[in-house]
């Protein structure tokens, strides 16, 4: 059960894995097994928190956050330089 939940989490199915673990805990598997399942839930929470932090380092358009000291280019691809 616990390995299956970990596998689901690695496959990107973290919500399904958490639900399966919560269902398992609710079935009263015993103190030791319930503790192990809770530990796996904590692992999933940690992974989810790390994923949120990674997303926060990007701007809303999905491109990497701007780095200090870098100035954006004023030219656009495909545009011809203007003559003065």
In order along its 84 residues, the chain shows pLDDT tens digits of: 888 998 998 898 989 999 999 999 999 999 999 999 999 999 888 887 877 665 555 555 555 555 555 555 555 556 566 665
Query: Would 81 be classed as within a structural domain?
Result: no
Query: Would 72 be classed as within a structural domain?
Result: no
Give tens-digit pLDDT for 63-84. Answer: 555 555 555 555 555 656 666 5
Query: Would 30 be classed as within a structural domain?
Result: yes
Query: Would 17 be classed as within a structural domain?
Result: yes
Buried b or exposed e, range 18-55, using 16+ CB within 10 angstroms = bebbeebbeeeeeeeebebbeebbeebeeeeeeeeeee
23 Cβ contact partners less than 8 Å away, ≥ 6 residues apart: none
Query: Would 18 be classed as within a structural domain?
Result: yes
Q: Tell me how many domains the chain contains.
A: 1
The SS3 assignment for 67 reads coil
Give dist(CA 38, CA 44) in Å, integer.
10
Query: Would 77 be classed as within a structural domain?
Result: no
Q: Provide the residue range defining the domain that includes 27.
A: 2-56
Confidence (pLDDT) at 70: 53
- pTM (whole model) above 0.75: no
């Amino acid at each position: 059960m616990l390995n299956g939940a970990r596998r689901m989490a690695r496959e990107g199915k973290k919500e399904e894995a958490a639900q399966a673990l919560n269902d398992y805990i609710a079935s009263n598997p015993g103190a030791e097994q319930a503790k192990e399942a809770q530990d796996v839930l904590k692992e999933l929470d940690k992974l989810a928190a790390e994923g949120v932090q990674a997303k926060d380092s990007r701007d809303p358009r999905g491109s990497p956050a701007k780095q200090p000291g870098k100035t954006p280019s004023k030219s656009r691809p495909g545009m011809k330089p203007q003559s003065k």
